Amino acid sequence: MTQKLFTSFKAGSLNLKNRVVMAPMTRRRSENAYLKPNELMVKYYEQRASAGLIITEGSQVSPGGYGYMYTPGCYSQEQLQGWKKVTEGVHAWGGKIFLQLWHVGALSHPLLQPGGQLPLSASAITPQGEVLTPDGRKKYVQSKPMTLEEIQETVRNFGQSTTLAREAGFDGVEIHGAHGYLLDQFLRDGTNKRKDEYGGKVENRARFLFEVLDEVCGNWSSEHVGIRLSPKFNRPGFEDSGPEEIFGYVVEKLNRYRLAYLHISEFGSPGFRNDPVQNTILPHYRDMYQGTLISCGNYTRESAIQTVEMGHADLIAFGKLFISNPDLVERLKVNAPLNEPKKETFYHGGPEGFTDYPFLDENDKADKIPD
């Protein structure tokens, strides 16, 4: 009997051949002046088109959203043309692909910002750690609190990038509201110290996220829009004193939108890495959210199958395993050995560790029987 993970899925705009999702992963291969997708990236995404759904690496919605060198944007015509080649390639191989819309907020540096300006965030915060710049690794600096005008400009940036993504041929977009980036910085009281209508109580801290969501859905119908959240994310200094309250409010309100999906990242969930079936926040949000739910976070074949069978999630997103196994769906289906990812090439290296991982030998397939 075919496990549910490998069966088709239909809901709203999603008409997927299986329930295996390629998670968004920063790869930093847009090494050009325009920060546009190149032919190497076209091949990378084409190779993985057997996924039910591909969610691209984060793509900044403006020059000010840039925080990691050589990550692609989606705010210019040059970038649109690059992404168009990606979507055409994936569709030619029968795949579906969403673009992830991204703004890093405080997690940047003046050397990466237009005009050398300070990175923008909800408040003046100084992240721990360092970031790679054109002048080498530098410590993060204190961010500049966004003015009301800058907030509204950023909202428009998300909408404009949505329009470009639609023109580029994507099947939809995912708003990156997770992992301590700009929208998440507004949600959490550890990073949001504002005293205006964007700070304080949960309704205010969630205001920016919902203004972005309204703008994006105004540029493309909501059934083509997903959003990613990480309720248990725990970067030092980016905590929230009541994550159940703020994320409960957000998820409950998302039900009004009839989105393509809600994507829950389990990054930071205690014990999830060791046992993603037992140590999961999914049942809590599954009961709360009425639409399609994607879960991501160090899944194995067995835990992914079990999670879908139990109804905790509709779709399972894989990250690192998709880096090293372009034909991951087939390998999971027949329980074949998996290639090990080369961590040293995650963020650089050209084709090495990017498009050179081997596919499953056709002669091996006949010897594999699904469990």
Residues in CB range of 179: below 8 A, 6 or more apart: 230, 233, 235, 265, 267
Place of tokens 């710049």: 133
Q: Which of 370, 354, 289 is nearest to 57 (CA)?
A: 354
State how far the Cα of 127 lies from the Cα of 143, in Å rounded to an integer: 9
User: Catalytic annotation on 45?
Assistant: no
- Of 44, 45, 181, 285, the active-site residue reads 181
Q: Where are the beta strands (DSSP E) in the chain?
A: 9-11, 14-16, 20-22, 53-60, 97-102, 120-121, 130-133, 136-139, 144-145, 172-176, 225-229, 261-265, 293-296, 315-318
Is there a contact between 352 and 44 (Cβ–Cβ < 8 Å)?
no
Phi-psi bin for 70: left (phi > 0), alpha (psi -120 to 50), beta? left
Residues in CB range of 138: below 8 A, 6 or more apart: 109, 111, 130, 131
Q: What single letter denotes the amino acid at residue 149?
A: E
Burial of 349 (0-12, 13-18, 19+ CB in 10 A): middle
State how far the Cα of 205 lies from the Cα of 190, in Å rounded to an integer: 11
State how far the Cα of 34 lies from the Cα of 77, in Å rounded to an integer: 10
State how far the Cα of 95 lies from the Cα of 54, in Å rounded to an integer: 8
Polymer length in residues for the chain: 371
- The set of catalytic residues is 181
